[in-house]
Amino acid sequence: MWDRNQMAARAAEELEDGMYVNLGIGIPTLVANYVGDKDITLQSENGMLGMGPFPFEGEEDPDLINAGKQTITELSRTAYFDSAQSFGMIRGGKIAAAILGAMEVAENGDLANWMIPGKLVKGMGGAMDLVAGVGRVIVVMDHTNKHGDSKVLPECTLPLTGKGVVDRIITNLGVLDVVEGGLRIVECADGVTEDELRAATEATLV
């Protein structure tokens, strides 16, 4: 089974030299630690390409934050722009990939990650725009929830973020692709058998 960092490292393998990429909050943020020598430009949807690491203590700038509202830094390649242009490049298909977390993914690529009815509702932020606009949507999440129920389902039970938008799912148990008729196992995580992966997956596997 993969831990958070191993999942992030596996997700980083999806990125190719020269890509412009948007990383979501949580495990996806860790992907930046594993891109190695690849020339990857990170987009922050609040208006920045070329996102740098957290600042050194004492060098935080209130005018320089990421989409998670955390203080960050700029790089020599950084460009700033307004929110309309930021989502113009997202909606316009200029961002090669988005790596983001999820509450549920369905076998047809439906994604739910923005609200749980009856609980506190915070909003979708930029998630709906990202999944509708970027070239490739990669979900990184735990395969099951804290009750042990599969998050990889025949159909989502929660309100959708996007319909038929997910291309690949990377979980602590392995990697799955959304294909015609269901999900296809790409690989199993270290120490996980295909039978174990199948048992933890409610969605149709083809």
Partner 1 sequence: MNKIYGSAAEALDGVLSDGMLIAAGGFGLCGIPELLLQAIKDAGTKNLTFASNNAGVDDFGIGILLQTKQVKKMISSYVGENAEFMRQYLSGELELEFNPQGTLAERMRAAGCGIPGFYTKTGVGTVIADGKEVKQFNGEDYILEEGIFADLSIVKAWKADDTGNLVFRKTARNFNPPAAMCGKICVAEVEEIVPRGSLDPDGIHLPGIYVHRIVQGEHEKRIEQRTTRTRENA
Distance CA 17, CA 182 (A): 30
**Phi/psi at 131 (nearest 5 deg)?**
-70, -25
74's enclosing H/E stretch is strand 74-80
Distance CA 161, CA 155 (A): 13
To partner 1, the closest distance from the beta carbon of 114 in angstroms equals 9
Catalytic residue among 14, 45, 104, 107: 45
Contacts of residue 147, Cβ cutoff 8 Å, sequence gap at least 6: none
To partner 1, the closest distance from the beta carbon of 95 in angstroms equals 11
Q: How far is CA 71 from the centre of its chain?
A: 20
To partner 1, the closest distance from the beta carbon of 89 in angstroms equals 10
Active site residue 45: yes
- Of the two residues 84 and 147, which places its CB atom closer to partner 1 in the complex? 84
To partner 1, the closest distance from the beta carbon of 59 in angstroms equals 8
Q: What is the dihedral of CA 14, 18, 24, 27, to 10 degrees?
A: 50
Distance CA 122, CA 107 (A): 26
Residues forming contacts to partner 1 in the complex (CB under 8 A) are 44-48, 53-57, 59-66, 68-72, 74, 80-84, 86-88, 90-91, 110, 120-129, 132-133, 159-164
To partner 1, the closest distance from the beta carbon of 66 in angstroms equals 8
194's enclosing H/E stretch is helix 194-199
What is the token pair recorded at 88? Answer: 């113009």
Q: Give the gyration radius of the chain's Cα atoms.
A: 17
Which active-site residues does the annotation give? 45
